[in-house]
Amino acid sequence: MPRIQVVPLLEIVRETPTTMTYRFRADLGGQPGQFLMVWIPRYDELPMALSYLGAVKGITVRDYGDATHALAAFTAGDRIGVRGPYGNVFRLEGQSVLAVGGGSGMASMIAAIEAFSQQGARVVTAAGAKNSEELLFVERANAAGEVHIATDDGSRGFHGFVPALADKLLARDTFQQVITCGPEKMMYAVVDLARKRGVPVQASLERYMKCGIGICDACALDDKLVCVDGSIFTGEELAESEDFGHFRRDKSGRRVPA
Amino acid sequence: MVDLRTEIAGVALRNPTMLASGFLDETGGSMGRVYQAGAGAVVTKSVGPQPREGYPNPTIVELDAGLLNAVGLPNPGVIEYEHEVKRAHAAGAVVIGSVFGKDAEEYAAVAAKMSTYGVKAIELNLSCPHAKGLGTEIAQDASAVRDFTRTVKDVVDVPVFPKLSPNVQDIATFAIAAEEGGADGIVAINTLKAMAITPELKMPSLANKYGGLSGPAIRSIGVRAVYDICDKVHIPVIGVGGIGSGRDALEYIMAGACAVQIGTAILSRGLGVFNEISKEMAFLLEEAGFHSVPEAIGVAHA
């Protein structure tokens, strides 16, 4: 049985004003798109995407609550618990890939962007954020292929939301697949426009989780579980979903607007 | 060919494997999926009068021989939960509603509401080992088990199955009390109160410190409990605790259970576990010369 490993943090990197990367060595695998359950002692245990898959693993997290705020105060040598990797994997399905990332959603996709590029695919990234400071992993994506930028405030690149930028890229170029991760409303738009153009799409979803291993039902999406049936779902699966883009479960299990 | 159908207090099951409360049963979508994967019935997450978030993470720890959890009874509240039961029913599921509350009246109110959703029976979670003030104390007091059961029985028309705690000196005493309270069946056992510590961090592994242990580690305790209970009461018993194979299930059946519940084994065997255990039971029953499940119930008492 996979067990929790307690590991010291080796390096902590501030990526943006709200997002940090934590690097550590752990005896676990990990493929593009997979996540770990990360125990921040005394605070919480949360699902976090693997943003680095090598010998020194990495998770990249936006500071959005008490636990991630506590984690942001950790320094090298402080210890966290990790278990996993969990969830399915971004699959390369063509020679030309459009990766559409919104905000910290790039953390879930960057390993796939790099892996697909290494496997010989042409990877074009559309990275969006509130403003230029919040853009995440643009340099890494740039090393793997072409990058286009969108910012909500127009401080860099396309002035507007990233789905609109993705739509332009899909209109002028031929892609054999789209991958996406970001706020759900953004992904909903990306899945919709990819499907309209007949391009296969995979989206990495986020839900509140307790177990991460497919038994507690906290992360239910319709009759699926984001932790074991996802976190990556295909456009076909999402087109049938009543929850995607509309509903999530709160901590009590109530179905509430997403 | 062995007939796997069984029956508990008038509730007919296509096979004796039920989904244990607490696993994949917060939502109707998951309960429907478990039923379609082969379970004879599904027991809901324990539902209370109000929405409840449960405890902070970590709430679940995997151990060598089991699973330790302290999720803290999260549930959307009985009013909202109607949608989930409806969804499970739409998928064809036979649903048993598990309820809890802070006192007998609250149990009765939630059970009464739940029974209007078309559930086939009510399971009383009288034994959650890790939620303060909610069931833990009741589980230690046989007269409370009797009174709570009676109060619920007075307000619902469907069978009522109190679920008993193994964290007591003599579980059969509690089963007798439940029978005196009018219970139509007994569910045994709930999880054992337990703790794991993470030495590297010098602290308990669960945010709640204490949790309930399930899985293979508790199976022999559950079999003994069911055996003792069946010696003392005349109502049917549903066996639960560490069942991960048809052979494990038969231990409970031969101890006297007429059906079994499965939860932790979903981890190791996936949702196919219900179908697989049913098939394994059929094979073993046939090999032993039985033609149906009822023929094998309690034979170890001979």
Global ipTM:
0.93
- Report the DSSP pairing between strands B211-214 and A56-62: unpaired
**What sign results for the dihedral spanned by CA atoms A238, A242, A247, A248?**
negative
Are A222 and B58 within 8 A, CB to CB? no
Count of all residues that appear for chain B in the document: 302
Q: Which pLDDT does position B136 carry in this prediction? A: 62
Integer Cα distance of A226 and A214 in angstroms: 8
Give yes or no: B258 in active site. Answer: no
Tell me what pLDDT residue A3 has.
82
Region of residue A77 (phi > 0: left; psi between -120 and 50: alpha; otherwise: beta):
left
| Nearest of B156, B22, B176 to residue B98 by alpha carbon | B22
Shortest alpha-carbon distance between residue B155 and chain A (Å): 26
Q: Which residues between 16 and 55 in chain B have a beta carbon less than 8 angstroms from any beta carbon of chain A?
A: 23-27, 29-30, 32-33, 45, 51-54
d(CA A58, CA A79): 14
Q: Which residues of chain A make contact with B62, given a CB cutoff of 8 A?
A: 1-3, 83, 213
Instruction: Kindly report the average pLDDT of chain A as a whole number.
Output: 96
Coil vs helix vs strand at B259: strand
Joined tokens for residue B154: 């007075």
Amino acid occupying residue B41? A
Sequence-ordered list of residues with C-beta below 8 angstroms from that of B29, at least 6 positions apart, any chain: A220, A222, A223, A224, B87, B91
Between B219-232 and B246-255, two packed helices, what is the crossing angle to 10 degrees? Answer: 30
The strands making up A177-181's β-sheet, listed across from edge to edge, are A158-159, A145-151, A122-129, A96-102, A177-181, A201-204, A232-234
Rounded Cα distance between B195 and B197, Å, is 7
pLDDT of residue B72: 93
Separation between Cα atoms, residue A182 and residue A188, nearest integer Å: 10
> Testing the interface with A: which of B52, B57, B82 to mutate, by most A Cβ within 10 A?
B57
pTM recorded for the entire structure: 0.95
Mean pLDDT to the nearest integer, A163-181: 97
What confidence score (pLDDT) does residue B247 get? 98
Q: Which of A195, A201, A212 is nearest to A179 (CA)?
A: A201
B193, B129 contact by CB (below 8 A) = yes
Any B CB within 8 A of A44 CB: yes
Side by side, the strands of the sheet bearing A35-40 are A5-8, A79-86, A35-40, A44-52, A56-62, A19-25, A11-16
Average pLDDT of A243-252? 97
Does an H or E element contain B274, and which? helix B273-287
Q: In what order do the strands lie in the sheet with B192-194?
A: B60-63, B66-69, B211-214, B192-194
Among positive and negative, which fits the CA dihedral A98, A102, A104, A108? negative
User: Which positions 146-205 of B are in contact with A (Cβ < 8 Å)?
Assistant: 198, 200-201, 203, 205
Distance (Å) from the alpha carbon of B104 to chain A's nearest alpha carbon: 23
Rg (CA), chain B: 18
Which letter does DSSP use for residue B199 in this model? Answer: G
Of B128, B168, B189, B260, catalytic:
B128
Burial pattern B160-196, b for ≥16 Cβ within 10 A else e, equals bbbbbbbbbeebbbbbbbbbbbbbbbbbbbbbbbbeb
Instruction: For strands A79-86 and A35-40, give the pairing.
Output: antiparallel
Q: How would you write the pLDDT of chain B (302 residues) with one tens digit per residue?
A: 899 999 999 999 999 999 999 999 999 999 999 999 999 999 999 999 999 999 999 999 999 999 999 999 999 999 999 999 999 999 999 999 999 998 999 999 999 999 999 999 999 999 765 566 665 667 789 999 999 999 999 999 999 999 999 999 999 999 999 999 999 999 999 999 999 999 999 999 999 999 999 999 999 999 999 999 999 999 999 999 999 999 999 999 999 999 999 999 999 999 999 999 999 999 999 999 999 999 999 999 98
Q: Could you tell me the pLDDT band of residue A101, with boundaries at 50, 70 and 90?
A: very high
Fill in the amino acid letter for B267.
L
CB contact under 8 A, B267 and A210: no
Q: Rounded to the nearest 10 degrees, how much is the dihedral formed by the CA atoms of B272, B223, B64, B126?
A: 90
pLDDT digits (tens, 9 = 90+) for A20-55: 999 999 999 999 999 999 999 999 999 999 999 999
A223:B29 CB<8 A: yes
Q: Minimal CA–CA distance to A32: which of A108, A103, A93, A104? A: A108
Question: What Å distances lie between residue A140 and A10, A54, A125, B47, B102, CA to CA?
Answer: 20, 14, 10, 48, 54
Spatial CB neighbours of B17, under 8 Å, sequence gap ≥ 6: B38, B39, B40, B249, B259, B260, B261, B262, B274, B277, B278
**B118 part of contact set with chain A, CB < 8 Å:** no
Closest-CA distance, A188 to chain B, in angstroms, reads: 21
Disruptive mutation site among A223, A225, A228, A243 for chain B (greatest number of B CBs within 10 Å): A223
- Cα separation, A160 vs A153, whole angstroms: 7
Q: Is the pLDDT of residue A2 over 60?
A: no
Task: Name the strand (E) or helix (H) holding A153.
Answer: none
Between A184-196 and A162-172, two packed helices, what is the crossing angle to 10 degrees? 20
> Which residues on adjacent β-strands are paired with residue B235?
none
Residues in chain A closer than 8 A to B53 (CB atoms): 250-252
| Residues A216, B71: C-beta atoms closer than 8 Å | yes
Q: Mark out the alpha helices in A1-145 (DSSP H runs).
A: 66-72, 106-118, 138-144
Q: Are A64 and A26 in contact (CB under 8 A)?
A: no
Cis ω for the linkage preceding B58 (within 30 of 0): yes
Chain B CB contacts of A1 under 8 Å are: 62-64
Helix H or strand E encompassing B254: helix B246-255
Rounded-to-integer distance, Cα B148 and Cα B288, Å: 40
